[in-house]
Homo-oligomer: A and B are copies of this chain.
Protein backbone atom coordinates (compact mmCIF):
# COMPACT_ATOMS: atom_id res chain seq x y z
CA UNK A 1 0.00 0.00 0.00
CA UNK A 2 1.54 3.29 -1.11
CA UNK A 3 1.59 6.37 1.10
CA UNK A 4 -0.62 8.02 -1.56
CA UNK A 5 -3.51 6.70 -3.70
CA UNK A 6 -2.48 5.67 -7.21
CA UNK A 7 -3.64 8.10 -9.89
CA UNK A 8 -5.78 6.50 -12.59
CA UNK A 9 -6.10 8.01 -16.06
CA UNK A 10 -9.65 9.06 -15.15
CA UNK A 11 -8.57 11.43 -12.39
CA UNK A 12 -5.24 12.50 -13.89
CA UNK A 13 -4.69 16.15 -14.75
CA UNK A 14 -3.72 17.19 -18.26
CA UNK A 15 -0.13 17.66 -17.10
CA UNK A 16 0.00 14.14 -15.68
CA UNK A 17 -1.69 12.61 -18.73
CA UNK A 18 0.89 14.24 -20.97
CA UNK A 19 3.63 12.41 -19.07
CA UNK A 20 1.67 9.14 -19.04
CA UNK A 21 1.22 9.43 -22.80
CA UNK A 22 4.90 10.09 -23.38
CA UNK A 23 5.73 6.99 -21.30
CA UNK A 24 3.28 4.99 -23.44
CA UNK A 25 4.71 6.25 -26.69
CA UNK A 26 8.34 5.83 -25.64
CA UNK A 27 7.77 2.28 -24.42
CA UNK A 28 5.31 1.20 -27.07
CA UNK A 29 2.74 -0.03 -24.56
CA UNK A 30 -0.45 1.28 -22.94
CA UNK A 31 0.62 0.00 -19.53
CA UNK A 32 1.59 2.56 -16.89
CA UNK A 33 3.20 0.91 -13.87
CA UNK A 34 2.41 1.90 -10.29
CA UNK A 35 5.57 3.97 -9.78
CA UNK A 36 4.35 6.62 -12.19
CA UNK A 37 0.79 6.46 -10.84
CA UNK A 38 2.04 7.12 -7.31
CA UNK A 39 4.49 9.78 -8.42
CA UNK A 40 1.65 11.54 -10.27
CA UNK A 41 0.62 13.11 -6.96
CA UNK A 42 3.41 15.58 -7.58
CA UNK A 43 3.17 16.42 -11.30
CA UNK A 44 6.44 18.39 -11.30
CA UNK A 45 8.35 15.52 -9.69
CA UNK A 46 6.68 13.05 -12.07
CA UNK A 47 7.72 15.08 -15.09
CA UNK A 48 11.30 15.70 -13.93
CA UNK A 49 11.81 12.06 -12.96
CA UNK A 50 10.43 10.68 -16.23
CA UNK A 51 12.34 13.13 -18.40
CA UNK A 52 15.61 12.26 -16.70
CA UNK A 53 14.96 8.52 -16.75
CA UNK A 54 13.98 8.68 -20.43
CA UNK A 55 17.31 10.27 -21.33
CA UNK A 56 19.46 8.05 -19.13
CA UNK A 57 17.80 4.78 -20.16
CA UNK A 58 17.56 5.85 -23.80
CA UNK A 59 20.03 5.27 -26.64
CA UNK A 60 23.71 5.62 -25.78
CA UNK A 61 26.95 3.66 -25.73
CA UNK A 62 25.68 1.06 -23.25
CA UNK A 63 23.00 -1.24 -24.64
CA UNK A 64 19.53 -1.16 -23.04
CA UNK A 65 19.88 -4.58 -21.37
CA UNK A 66 23.17 -3.64 -19.72
CA UNK A 67 21.56 -0.50 -18.33
CA UNK A 68 18.64 -2.48 -16.91
CA UNK A 69 20.99 -4.96 -15.24
CA UNK A 70 23.01 -2.13 -13.66
CA UNK A 71 19.73 -0.54 -12.48
CA UNK A 72 18.58 -3.84 -11.02
CA UNK A 73 21.93 -4.35 -9.28
CA UNK A 74 21.80 -0.93 -7.60
CA UNK A 75 18.18 -1.53 -6.59
CA UNK A 76 19.14 -4.85 -5.03
CA UNK A 77 21.99 -3.34 -3.03
CA UNK A 78 19.56 -0.66 -1.82
CA UNK A 79 16.90 -3.24 -0.95
CA UNK A 80 14.17 -1.63 -3.06
CA UNK A 81 11.58 -4.40 -3.57
CA UNK A 82 9.54 -2.55 -6.19
CA UNK A 83 12.62 -1.53 -8.18
CA UNK A 84 14.03 -5.06 -8.16
CA UNK A 85 10.77 -6.42 -9.55
CA UNK A 86 10.27 -3.73 -12.17
CA UNK A 87 13.83 -3.74 -13.49
CA UNK A 88 14.10 -7.54 -13.49
CA UNK A 89 10.92 -7.55 -15.59
CA UNK A 90 12.36 -4.81 -17.83
CA UNK A 91 15.62 -6.72 -18.26
CA UNK A 92 13.70 -9.83 -19.29
CA UNK A 93 11.62 -7.80 -21.71
CA UNK A 94 14.88 -6.61 -23.23
CA UNK A 95 16.12 -10.15 -23.74
CA UNK A 96 17.89 -11.20 -20.54
CA UNK A 97 18.27 -14.98 -20.68
CA UNK A 98 18.12 -17.32 -17.68
CA UNK A 99 21.87 -17.77 -17.93
CA UNK A 100 22.46 -14.01 -17.94
CA UNK A 101 20.11 -13.59 -14.98
CA UNK A 102 22.04 -16.25 -13.07
CA UNK A 103 25.29 -14.44 -13.82
CA UNK A 104 23.80 -11.10 -12.80
CA UNK A 105 22.79 -12.58 -9.44
CA UNK A 106 26.20 -14.23 -9.11
CA UNK A 107 28.06 -10.95 -9.70
CA UNK A 108 25.78 -9.14 -7.24
CA UNK A 109 26.42 -11.88 -4.68
CA UNK A 110 30.20 -11.79 -5.07
CA UNK A 111 30.24 -7.99 -5.05
CA UNK A 112 28.17 -7.85 -1.84
CA UNK A 113 30.43 -10.46 -0.27
CA UNK A 114 33.67 -8.70 -1.09
CA UNK A 115 32.18 -5.28 -0.25
CA UNK A 116 31.61 -6.67 3.24
CA UNK A 117 35.04 -8.27 3.59
CA UNK A 118 36.88 -5.23 2.22
CA UNK A 119 34.98 -2.91 4.54
CA UNK A 120 35.59 -5.24 7.46
CA UNK A 121 39.32 -5.27 6.70
CA UNK A 122 39.44 -1.53 5.82
CA UNK A 123 41.78 -2.26 2.92
CA UNK A 124 43.66 0.86 1.73
CA UNK A 125 43.27 1.76 -1.95
CA UNK A 126 46.26 0.74 -4.08
CA UNK A 127 48.13 3.68 -5.61
CA UNK A 128 47.69 2.27 -9.10
CA UNK A 129 43.91 2.54 -8.81
CA UNK A 130 44.00 6.30 -8.27
CA UNK A 131 43.41 8.55 -11.27
Chain A interface residues toward B at CB < 8 A: 1-5, 31, 33-35, 38-39, 41-42, 44-45, 48-49, 52-53, 55-57, 60-62, 66-67, 69-89, 97-126, 128-131
A44→B102 CA distance, assembly (Å): 9
Chain B contacts for A119, CB-based, 8 A:
76, 78-82, 84
Contacts A45-B105, A48-B52, A103-B60: A1 and B122 contacting too (C-beta < 8 A)? yes
Smallest beta-carbon distance A85→chain B, Å: 4
Chain B contacts for A73, CB-based, 8 A:
70, 73-74, 77
- Asked if residues B131 and A4 are in contact (CB atoms below 8 Å), the reply is yes
Q: A34 contacts which of B99, B107, B126 (Cβ < 8 Å)?
A: B126
